[in-house]
Structure 1
Amino acid sequence: MKKNWISAVTALSLFVSLSLPARPSAAAAPGIEEIVLVQQSKKVVHNGVASTSPQPLTMKNGVTYVAAKALMKELSGSISFDAKTKVYKLNFSKQTMTFTVGKTTYTLDGKAKSGAQGAPYVLNGTLMVPIRTVANGFGLSLITAQGGKQLTLSWSMKPIAKFEVSNLKPYAEQSEVSYKDLSYHPRGYKIVAERWENNYSMFEQAGAVKVTHWVQDEAGLWSEPYTVTINVKPPNQPPVADFSTDKDVYKMGELIHYEDVSTDDENWITNRKWTNKQKGFFTPGPQTITLVVTDAHGETSEISKTITISDATLYPEESFHLLYTDIGDKFPLPGKDVLNYSLIPYDIMNQGVTLVRSNSPETIVDEGIYYADQVAGNVRFMTHNANGRDVPVKIYIVATNNNATDATAKIGPVGIGGPNLYVPNVARSVSAKYLDARLNPKSSTVSIPAGQTRILVPAVSDKTLDPGDVYASLADVFLDQPLDIKVVVVNADRNVFATLPSLSVLPVVAHVRGTFDDANRMMIVNRTIGDVKGRMVLADNSIDTRLSGIDKTTDTPVLNSGNYGAVYTIRMNMVQPHTAIVVNGRGGYYAGAFLVNGKLVYATNTGYLQNNNEGAMLYRTGDSIESVTIQFTPAPGSNLPINLLFYPEPPGAIPDPEPATEPPLENIEP
């Protein structure tokens, strides 16, 4: 009996020793929270106050697990479960951990982690998580005692000081600095006081400055200091504008070389604006050139220099531009005189590709089907629209496979222009990107199962057209079976597949839509070009005839005015040495691009041709006869026709006139 009594006392003593904290809560430092747990016990002692967990602290395969719900309650955190993803989310002090039952991978503040001490599991309806993994993730101190049978978790419950600085590298005496206070208390207590050091809104001297912040909570506890180092730079100096020319006096039609020698203390000039910087001048007298430079901080500097243009002529204006205009740049020319240049005849050979042009209604007013047809083989899709609605929209090219077998579409070169508010920008961009895609071909595939509908050219519908935006696309696709194609416009927030059954085909308005065969146009010229001024007329609907087709939504014959969407290949086999090849817009403004002997050339580099009195330089031949190949597609939104102009080598420099006799000194004007 006595032996049993002694055993009972011994067991009770052992239980008490394992259940109580290793040190009393009163001994903990101010602001420190402490939880004591014992293996195989449901008892939880938090700052000396006991409560009960739904499941005991459990060791499994050498890993200690704690009931997540009980732990998060003591931490003043939260736990939630997403039934759809089967993910548990634990939140504590602005940190989040997520777990999935049976997986050792987890996330901490959205970043994937691996190597958890064990995989979470469910015990009698309660999520059990590896306590060391949670402690490490949330930054809790974990101490074991009694041979690992007693665990103590502790953490600070002081307020947390934190702030952001608007500018970590301000300029002394120039930059204003602001501070955003991000301090908080892990348990939501109020912040009642704060203290700062060096939180100046402007610093007087350069150097590293440490800004420190403390906050106090309603319980009177102060945070640890939070410090950010600001590297104050010396005051910014404005840039210094400067340039030089290779001399001070030039003849009319003489090339002027400019050298920008502007400087900045940080070598950070962001903008240069020239006024009257011409490559050459064609009237005698003084010419003042001005340069304004701006640095990254908005500081500016301006300089003007005056050169003198003599009454002697080196090159007449036309010859000068033909010699010195950079490829892709534009220059003035006499538009009326172009009509007197020798016409260069050519033969047209159309080649097989089907063009689907969707350009009507050009202005988007209604949701609907803008074009529909059944096509197969090599197909080019061309769209050009402006959003006239007051809400954003998207354009889709969708394909329905009504065949008994699955179909595959191979997507080839694609060019996208816009969305942009300005038509010339879109015209220039779509033609350049499409030609560049042809030059550097890439491909992808879209599978369309039998009886299903798919987006055919995803790149087209990736863009959203805001109200007023203009948008254009060109896309080459190979379809291995006949597919029903629709060009569809719906509000950007709608699902195209859900909306499509309720849409109808819209009527034609002003512009052209239709399906056109043989939309690749080859022209070969075997005669000599460049011996005299000549011109080649393109897309005029007379010499260069229109593609004929059918609007399959109405079964109406149509002509492709302007041949938009067609691809031209012009091969000229005998172009004379030193011949300048120029594009000249005849119908109004023109913005586009060309491939010249495999090199992309914009028309123009910095804008567009405004009228028929401007030309853009495309190419110059060298010292021998050349074969020149030009590819282009009439740019959607630009005006047609265009002419290719061919200029022979400009004449040599005009000899200097006989120098005048130097007047006697007494006759010189002061």
Structure 2
Amino acid sequence: MKRKYLLLFLSALLLFSIQLPVHAADSANGLDKLELTQGSKIMVHNGKTVTATQPLTATKGVSYVAARSIMNEIYGTIAYDSKSKLYTLSNGINEIKLLAGNPSYTLNGVVKTNAGAPYLLKGTLMIPLRTVAQSFGLTLTNLPKEKKVVLTWASKPVANFSVSDTNPYAQQTEVKYTNQSYHPSGLKIIDERWENNNAIFDQAGTYTISHWVQDERGTWSDPYTVTITVRPPNQPPVAQFNTDKDTYKMGEFITYTDLSTDDENRIASTVWTNNERGFFVAGPQNITLTVTDANGAVNEYTKTITITEETHYTKEEFDLLYTAIGDKFGISGPSVLSLPKMPYSINDRQQTLIRANSPETILEEGIYYEDTVSGNVRFLLHNLNGRSNPVKIYVLLTNENAETATVRMGAKGIGGPNPIVSQVGRMVTGRFLESVLNPTYSYLQIPAGESRLIFQEYSDKRVRPGDVYSMFADVQMNSNLKFQVIVVDEHREVMSMLPYLKVLPSNDRHIRGTFENANRMMYVNQTIGDVKSRMILADNVEDTRLTGIDKTTGTSVLNMGNYGVLYTIRLSNVQPHTAIAINPRGGHYAGAFTINGKVVYATNDSILRNPNEVGMLYKSGDTVESVDITFTPANGSMLPINLLFLPMPELK
């Protein structure tokens, strides 16, 4: 019987007689050695005797070792999670996770299978020795005659580092080196040696940086090297430009040509000073161009031109001719009021408008508006988060009918979240108008008695404290559906919160309500552009406001500013060379307009700050034209506004 067990033990040892890869080529230096004896708790580590909690044990042809004892000797750790009953063994590089009684385990997240299942022996986790060897890079050698198993592993320190710039400039770039060396067995690094780790290199060329580290036992690592290519010193860019000539009349257009260069063609910044398109004061004018390359080197060039006493164009004529579409120019705000008013006829067309804009400032969670609507519906949502934590805004549709309802979602524009209200208003308006030109439709089925959230893209965004968030969206409903505009803190689940939310009261300043006939057609048949004139919009005198009802209270309301109303203005007789511009009369304005099928922002990169500024929208050509203008008053902007029709001067 004893002979039978001895043969079984020797067979198990033969299973372990495999050579696993070591961490270092030089096995004579920095090599750890651990000897284990079958049936014994004694372990000999680098000549020092230590005692394991349980002996090396052969069970069903598999040798098991006390997990905590061997992990201590290979400088690893073992942790136990009492809830999951999961053991985690790690040497700082590799990690295995296993359960007692389960032959499967994971190595760095990859599922593996043990030769046998780990088990508990008097409270000690016993793990197959081969699993430890294979997982942590140990070489396992058996000595059958001595009933011993020898584990060896490289324990040299490993040198490593990163370089802040592998392509620095000679004499200019400071190179920084980050030491990332470590010891696979957890020993301390006590010394290091470098070659060529210069902070600044004097000459261009290729350099090899080498690094060695020494551990607390005196063992040196193999070298770790990084090769860098040092470029010649960076040359600053050369700022240069010219003008089409050196002497100009007052109000004559100036063409600037940037001729700046850089040795690496990496000019990162170009800043002009006093490069006006035209000047209206006689005398010398200094124009400066400053350029900066990608490395921060700066150069500038100044040229002086002469402006004569002769006038080519007045300032007003010049601005009308040379202001680009989407840009702005100055005007005398009071003088606009003296321009004749262009009469127009109004034809409102059916479109339900939901304006959920009150309370505009979000101070509490709740239902911000609700009603039951059908047909073509436009939603206008515009809010500022005044809470101390982020929120999300939802639109919920509920089908209280006996049959499934169909909802078609079409044109939509979203602006924000962003703390700058004018930027949000400009973007939401422009995006909505662009979507109106090329709508993308999607469909939603809502079964009888069920609810669905719509505008998921809008609801997905978190609105931080101080942010403004806006949306225009057109939908079509084939039956009456109840909608609710709901605001909850970002981590709340809206449907589970809904039973606890109340409809919040409106306030005096901002408007919410349901309005009909929210598509407004305006027709101008008179000649436009023969004289200066203006068209007054959203003033509640010439252009009256829609009336509606706040369905949460049954109160009649006026749509102040007609926000959410989609205007279409048809100008049937626009004279050649007529500029059409937008002038704010109530304060600042930042929005967008569709002119003959093209969206124009007012303005491209700024706002109209007050009545003394004008945004260029369109310039007619050489013949009489019909011009169609579509817009909706921009959220966050001030009304009323005027469209200006200004004859342009002849080109000289």
CA contact (8 A) 2:329 2:615 kept: yes
**Pair 581,22 (structure 1): closer, same or farther in 2 beyond 3 Å:** closer
Q: 1:462 aligns with which of 452, 460, 463?
A: 460
Q: Which residue of 2 aligns with 1:664?
A: none
Q: 1:18 aligns with which of 9, 14, 21?
A: 14
Deviations 1:475-517 (A, max 9, x none): 2233444333222333334333343333322222211111112
Q: 1:170 aligns with which of 163, 168, 171?
A: 168
Q: Which residue of 2 aligns with 1:570?
A: 569
Measured after TM superposition, the shift of residue 431 of structure 1 is 1.3
- Residue 430 (structure 1) aligned with residue 417 (structure 2): no
Q: Secondary structure at the match of 2:514?
A: strand
Moved more, 453-462 or 505-514: 453-462
Q: 1:368 aligns with which of 366, 369, 381?
A: 366
Q: 2:498 aligns with which of 497, 500, 503?
A: 500
Q: Secondary structure at the match of 1:397?
A: strand
Q: Which residue of 2 aligns with 1:379?
A: 377
CA contact (8 A) 1:121 1:129 kept: no
Partner Cα distance (1:14, 1:54) in 2: 10
Residue identity in the other structure for 2:206: A
Identity of matched residues, %: 52
Moved more, 320-329 or 570-579: 570-579
Q: Which residue of 1 aligns with 2:643?
A: 644
Q: 1:223 aligns with which of 221, 224, 228?
A: 221
Partner Cα distance (1:105, 1:267) in 2: 56
CA contact (8 A) 1:46 1:74 kept: no
Measured after TM superposition, the shift of residue 319 of structure 1 is 2.0
Q: Which residue of 1 aligns with 2:397?
A: 399
Measured after TM superposition, the shift of residue 587 of structure 1 is 1.4
CA contact (8 A) 1:584 1:616 kept: yes
Partner Cα distance (1:44, 1:599) in 2: 86
Unaligned runs of 5+ in 2: none
Measured after TM superposition, the shift of residue 413 of structure 1 is 2.9
Q: Which residue of 2 aligns with 1:579?
A: 578
TM-score by length of 1: 0.79
Measured after TM superposition, the shift of residue 381 of structure 1 is 1.9
Deviations 1:162-192 (A, max 9, x none): 2233333333332333333332233333222
Q: Which residue of 1 aligns with 2:93?
A: 94
Measured after TM superposition, the shift of residue 322 of structure 1 is 1.5
Deviations 1:341-363 (A, max 9, x none): 34333322323332221222222
**Pair 452,16 (structure 1): closer, same or farther in 2 beyond 3 Å:** closer
Partner Cα distance (1:71, 1:411) in 2: 65
Q: Secondary structure at the match of 2:202?
A: coil
CA contact (8 A) 2:94 2:107 kept: no
**Pair 155,447 (structure 1): closer, same or farther in 2 beyond 3 Å:** farther
Residue identity in the other structure for 1:475: A
Measured after TM superposition, the shift of residue 561 of structure 1 is 0.9
Measured after TM superposition, the shift of residue 523 of structure 1 is 2.5
- Residue 232 (structure 1) aligned with residue 248 (structure 2): no
Q: Secondary structure at the match of 1:474?
A: strand
1:68-147 equivalence runs, <5 A: 76=76, 93-95=92-94
Q: Which residue of 2 aligns with 1:157?
A: 155
**Pair 449,141 (structure 1): closer, same or farther in 2 beyond 3 Å:** farther
Q: Secondary structure at the match of 1:583?
A: strand
Partner Cα distance (1:401, 1:470) in 2: 30
Partner Cα distance (1:440, 1:131) in 2: 68
Deviations 1:83-111 (A, max 9, x none): 99x99987553345789999x999967xx
Measured after TM superposition, the shift of residue 45 of structure 1 is 10
Measured after TM superposition, the shift of residue 461 of structure 1 is 2.6
CA contact (8 A) 1:21 1:45 kept: no
Partner Cα distance (2:432, 2:258) in 1: 35
CA contact (8 A) 2:323 2:616 kept: yes
Measured after TM superposition, the shift of residue 315 of structure 1 is 2.0
Q: Which residue of 2 aligns with 1:329?
A: 327
TM-score by length of 2: 0.81
Q: Which residue of 2 aligns with 1:667?
A: none
Partner Cα distance (1:132, 1:412) in 2: 64
Residue identity in the other structure for 2:600: V
Partner Cα distance (2:267, 2:462) in 1: 34
Partner Cα distance (2:633, 2:114) in 1: 64
Deviations 1:299-356 (A, max 9, x none): 3333332221112122222222121111111112233333333433332232333222
**Pair 421,20 (structure 1): closer, same or farther in 2 beyond 3 Å:** closer
Unaligned runs of 5+ in 1: 59-65, 654-670
**Pair 482,16 (structure 1): closer, same or farther in 2 beyond 3 Å:** closer
Superposed CA RMSD in Å reads: 4.6
Q: Which residue of 1 aligns with 2:439?
A: 441
Residue identity in the other structure for 2:286: T
Measured after TM superposition, the shift of residue 621 of structure 1 is 2.0
